[in-house]
Amino acid sequence: MGKNQHPKHLLLLILLPAILSLQSALAVDFVFNGFNSSDMLLLYSNATVESRILTLTNSTNFSIGRALYKSKIPAKAPNSSYVYPFSTSFIFSIAPYKNTLPGHGMVFIFTPVAGIKGTSSSQHLGLFNFTNDGIPSNHVFGVEFDVFKNEEFQDINDNHVGIDVNSLKSVEAHEAGYWPENSDFKKLKLNNGENYQVWIDYKDFFINVTMDEMFVGFTSSTGQLVESHKRHRRLAREREDMEDWELEFWPHRITYQEIEAATKSFGEENVIGVGANGKVYKGVLAGGQRLQ
């Protein structure tokens, strides 16, 4: 997970899920880089789209929000228990509303059914309820970003990432954080309003859950503790202006004027190589980012 700065008081998310089979003909790839009303999304309860941002919850107590890709996708090979590998990356931010305590969190999910029937708010994150949590017939797989310690689910703490199979009692969980290159594990606070980038990859056979054609998306809820949960979508735009969070997490164009300034008008002291097509320069962009 990577971290950005200066988010709004909401939860932002870039969603780039891809479900890939061993057979290229069955591969499914889709990208959301900012949302609009024409997107192929199913929105439930308090989930809304505004200003290209997908919001899961609002400022009310016991709010539930769910957003799913409109069509089911194949999650396993026909007539086989083999679950296809998948990979997803997204950027999110969890932020409490002003003068409130933080809420409960959110889950990236695979589910066989749309809608929110049979779900509860608060600690159930809009995923299960008191009676159906832990039932094998749920056929649900999820990755939770949990910011509240619930003893009933044997949560390890109030700031963790967990793997959920048919239950919010995670089969595996770890304190939230990341490993910088050639460095020790660094903890991070999930609900401090920062933007975080997440990568989830599944390539083995360790998920013991029945999966066939599934909806994929996100679910979240609040209880008496309130926070907001939102998300974003974007493909490359023709215009130059970029939002703050994109500057760190999303590839963007560099203008000629920026390159000229970074290389000090293509000064000879910044030449680092010469090729058949010209010279290669080094430079430093405003803000300290190096380029060549």
Domain annotation for the chain: domains and CATH numbers? 2-232 (2.60.120.200), 254-291 (no CATH)
Residue 138 near residue 251, CB atoms below 8 Å:
no
For the chain, 292 residues long, give each residue's pLDDT as a single digit of tens: 444 433 322 333 433 333 333 333 355 666 666 677 656 788 988 888 877 777 888 777 888 889 888 888 888 777 777 777 777 877 787 877 655 555 688 899 999 999 888 887 778 788 898 898 999 999 999 999 998 888 999 999 999 999 999 999 999 999 999 888 888 999 999 988 788 888 887 776 556 666 778 898 899 887 765 445 445 444 333 334 445 545 554 444 455 566 667 667 767 776 665 544 455 656 666 655 555 5
Element (H, E) at 110: strand 105-111
SS3 letters across 222-277: CCCCCEECEEECCCCCCCCCCCHHHHHHCCCCCCHHHHHHHCCCCCHHHEEEEECC
The pLDDT of residue 188 is 92
Residue 84 near residue 64, CB atoms below 8 Å:
no
| AA letter at 3 | K
Burial of residue 284 (CB within 10 Å: 0-12, 13-18, 19+) is middle
Provide the 3-class DSSP secondary structure of residue 34.
coil
Nearest to 16 by CA among 127, 106, 113, 91: 91
- β-bridge mates for residue 102, sequence order: none
Cα 175 from Cα 186, distance rounded (Å): 10
Burial of residue 189 (CB within 10 Å: 0-12, 13-18, 19+) is middle
